[in-house]
Amino acid sequence: MSNEAILHANIGATLDVHGEHQEHHHETFITKYIFSQDHKTISKQFLITGMVWAVIGGLMSVLFRLQLGFPDESFPWLEDLLGKWWAAGGHITAQGYYALVTIHGTVLIFFVLTAGLSGTFANLLIPLQIGARDMASPLLNMLSYWFFFIAGIIMLSSIFVETGPFSGGWTAYPPLSALGDASPGSKSGMDLWIISMALFVVSSLLSGLNYIATVLNLRTKGMSMTRLPLTVWSLFFTAIVGVLSFPVLLSGFILLIFDRNFGTSFYLSDIFLSATGAALPNEGGSAILFQHLFWFLGHPEVYIIVLPAMGIVSEILSINSRKPIFGYIAMVGSMFAITTLTFLVWAHHMFVTGLNPFLGSLFTLFTLLIALPSAIKVFNWLTTIWRGSIRFTPSMLFAIGFVSVFISGGLTGLWLGNSALDIHLHDTYFNIAHFHLVMGVASIFAMFAGVYHWFPKMYGRRMNNTLGYIHFWISIIGAYLIFWPMHYEGLAGMPRRYYDYSIWESFKQFSELNKFISIVVFITFSTQILFIINFFYSIWYGRKETSLNPHGATTLEWTTPIKPGHGNYRKYLNTSLGL
């Protein structure tokens, strides 16, 4: 049985494989900063790439808010800046508007809040907090980043093609996505969109596999699953949700590619084209099929975005309240419940597709059930800070802000989850308000919290607190002022994804409100620049971190040197004694 011996010895060797790197550091600039396999460098790459995308996606929202707030005014400089396709005569054009909202949604959901959030914190925290020297497969980890990077380049280039980027919404429903003739954005912009997204899915799968294998296999001695920090648990569940749901999206995309390019009839049927006046040759396809495949990922995707945020917030709230997290097991249990239930609710996005009412009631039931674990988590966060001796650092404020917007947005989820109510609210601004608060703002806040908190670990320096406070207060006030009024617009029936509301008598009442929202958007967006300046300035000129454990945390990443080298730990850890 000598082979078994070799096999088993090899496991030890794998755990050890990066230990040796610390001794011989023959790394060139390229292997150290570009094609790095060190999880900490990859984490920074994800973070900075995510930030670039956040700026691009955010600027897009500034542009379309300009249109929504000031539909009657013209801004000649816009045409000079963007060209005729986007802003003929100083007005954002309709095609430009749809392109902007689509790419804004795609980029923020997938590039910023999926890759940017998970990629940054899973890479930084999983190995450091479980006491591993690196990921299970550093190579796959590096590949995952580069797939993401290339996906980004392709998405970016789609913005510059002659017929514009894809413009059918981030959900990419056919026929707009399946039929090149359906709209300008359905042409080569859509080809690039789908290639980019396919590469993005590959990137997510590679990293998800790696995260799961790392958490289950590379924990240091004594780090049992019940001792894992909630950050690691949340990133672990996120990875599970990802590897089980992204492949279904991929299969939906494959069928879409066949319909687009090879004339099949999965989604397309003999619909009439206004451009040609003739029916398509396709027969029997159903766009609803795509919606099922899409939302089977699409709903879990929102939890892929919010679960890591929940983990980060749990950790930061507890550290800055100087108290252990309240109800650790309940926290893990509720994340497990979310991970399971999230696969059973996708059709709540499809209540108005003619779904069988009985099925609709089942999906309503499961949807409302998700509120339970969510409520348990909220309760535990509040009891964690209850009577703590709280330090209101910027990261703590953002974590509290997360809880606040998560509650505000979660409550409206209960409205939308009722199929009867949703028939009225579907695809209105109520929906926009719901998901921006519960997911968009919440997860971005958690990401800020995480960056402020772990910045000393990433760069060995501190970010400026004063700028952090300004950033927080304007962001949270801005977020509420932007999204709260949208609830009223949605209740009044104002649909989403319309280019110009001023031509409807019934929505004229909102023109002042829309102007107000847009102005707040401009202010809030500008404030984010403060964060970016703070971030980059502090990388080089921030106050040097002198303490090994600046926040008084109990997790392992603060037992490494202030700036850990490749391999993280100087010697093997045994947490069965220490913690």
Residues binding ligand HEM (CB under 6 A) = 302, 305-306, 348-349, 367, 370-371, 374, 410, 413-414, 416-417, 422, 425-427, 431, 434-435, 438-439
- Residue 305 contact among another protein, Cu ion, ligand HEM, none, beta carbon within 5 to 8 Å by kind: ligand HEM
Q: Scanning residues 130 to 189, which ones bind Cu ion (CB under 5 A)?
A: none
CB of 210 to another protein, least distance (A): 7
Nearer to ligand HEM, 427 or 500 (CB): 427
Nearer to another protein, 250 or 476 (CB): 250
CB of 406 to ligand HEM, least distance (A): 7
Task: Give the integer Cα–Cα distance in Å for 281 and 251.
Answer: 24
Cβ atoms of 567 and 19 within 8 Å: the answer is yes
Owner of token pair 């209740």: 491
> How many residues are there in the chain?
579
- Residue 221 contact among another protein, ligand HEM, Cu ion, none, beta carbon within 5 to 8 Å by kind: another protein
CB of 292 to Cu ion, least distance (A): 13
- 7, 94, 365, 529: residue in contact with another protein (rule CB under 8 A): 7
Q: Measured between alpha carbons, how far is residue 501 from residues 76, 272, 515 in Å?
A: 22, 27, 12
Nearer to ligand HEM, 426 or 487 (CB): 426
The CB density around residue 276, as the number of other CB atoms within 10 Å, is 9
**Does residue 293 bind another protein (CB under 8 A)?**
yes
| 3-class DSSP assignment, residue 176 | coil
The closest alpha carbon to 310, from 254, 231, 382, 422, belongs to 231
**Does residue 287 bind another protein (CB under 8 A)?**
no
CB of 297 to Cu ion, least distance (A): 11
Give 461's strand partners.
Answer: 544
**Does residue 434 bind Cu ion (CB under 5 A)?**
no
Task: Give the integer Cα–Cα distance in Å for 67 and 97.
Answer: 8
Cβ atoms of 23 and 565 within 8 Å: the answer is no
Q: Scanning residues 181 to 210, which ones bind another protein (CB under 8 A)?
A: 205, 208-210
CB of 143 to another protein, least distance (A): 13
Q: Measured between alpha carbons, how far is residue 232 from residues 235, 310, 556 in Å?
A: 5, 11, 12
- 86, 170, 266, 435: residue in contact with another protein (rule CB under 8 A): 266
Q: Measured between alpha carbons, how far is residue 404 from residues 168, 335, 381 in Å?
A: 32, 19, 11
- 88, 244, 470, 481: residue in contact with another protein (rule CB under 8 A): 244
Dihedral pair phi/psi, residue 163, rounded to 5°: -90, 10
Task: Give the integer Cα–Cα distance in Å for 96 and 420.
Answer: 34
Q: Which residue is nearest to ligand HEM (CB)?
A: 413
**Does residue 281 bind another protein (CB under 8 A)?**
yes
**Does residue 3 bind another protein (CB under 8 A)?**
yes
Cβ atoms of 99 and 166 within 8 Å: the answer is yes
- 24, 25, 162, 262: residue in contact with another protein (rule CB under 8 A): 262
Dihedral pair phi/psi, residue 264, rounded to 5°: -85, 175
> Diameter of the chain by CA atoms?
83
CB of 128 to another protein, least distance (A): 17
Cβ atoms of 443 and 114 within 8 Å: the answer is no
Nearer to another protein, 25 or 571 (CB): 571
- Residue 575 contact among another protein, ligand HEM, Cu ion, none, beta carbon within 5 to 8 Å by kind: none
Task: Give the integer Cα–Cα distance in Å for 384 and 404.
Answer: 14
- The secondary structure of 459-479 as a DSSP string is HSB---HHHHHHHHHHHHHHH
**Does residue 212 bind another protein (CB under 8 A)?**
yes
- 283, 333, 386, 536: residue in contact with another protein (rule CB under 8 A): 283
Tokens of 476: 């949270």
> Could you give the angle at the alpha carbon of 195 between the alpha carbons of 64 and 183, nearest 5°?
50
| 3-class DSSP assignment, residue 428 | strand
Residue count at the site for another protein (CB under 8 A)? 53
HEC states along 503-557? CCHHHHHHHHHHHHHHHHHHHHHHHHHHHHHHHHHHHHHCCECCCCCCCCCCCHH
CB of 505 to ligand HEM, least distance (A): 24
Tokens of 156: 């970016």
Candidates 66-74, 292-300, 529-537, 539-547: pick the segment binding Cu ion (CB under 5 A): 292-300
User: 128-167 mask for another protein (x: CB under 8 A)?
Assistant: --------xx--x---------------------------
- Residue 496 contact among Cu ion, another protein, ligand HEM, none, beta carbon within 5 to 8 Å by kind: none
- The secondary structure of 86-99 as a DSSP string is HHGGGS--HHHHHH
CB of 422 to Cu ion, least distance (A): 11
- 21, 65, 91, 299: residue in contact with Cu ion (rule CB under 5 A): 299
- 289, 337, 352, 532: residue in contact with another protein (rule CB under 8 A): 289
**Does residue 5 bind another protein (CB under 8 A)?**
yes
Residue type at 256 in one-letter notation? L
Candidates 9-17, 321-329, 410-418, 507-515: pick the segment binding another protein (CB under 8 A): 9-17
**Does residue 506 bind another protein (CB under 8 A)?**
no
Dihedral pair phi/psi, residue 119, rounded to 5°: -60, -40
Q: DSSP character for 426?
A: T
CB of 126 to another protein, least distance (A): 13
The binding site for another protein (CB under 8 A) comprises 1, 3-12, 14-15, 136-137, 140, 205, 208-210, 212-214, 216-218, 221, 243-248, 250-252, 254-255, 258, 262-266, 281, 283-286, 289, 292-293, 296
Report the interface residues with Cu ion, using CB under 5 A: 299
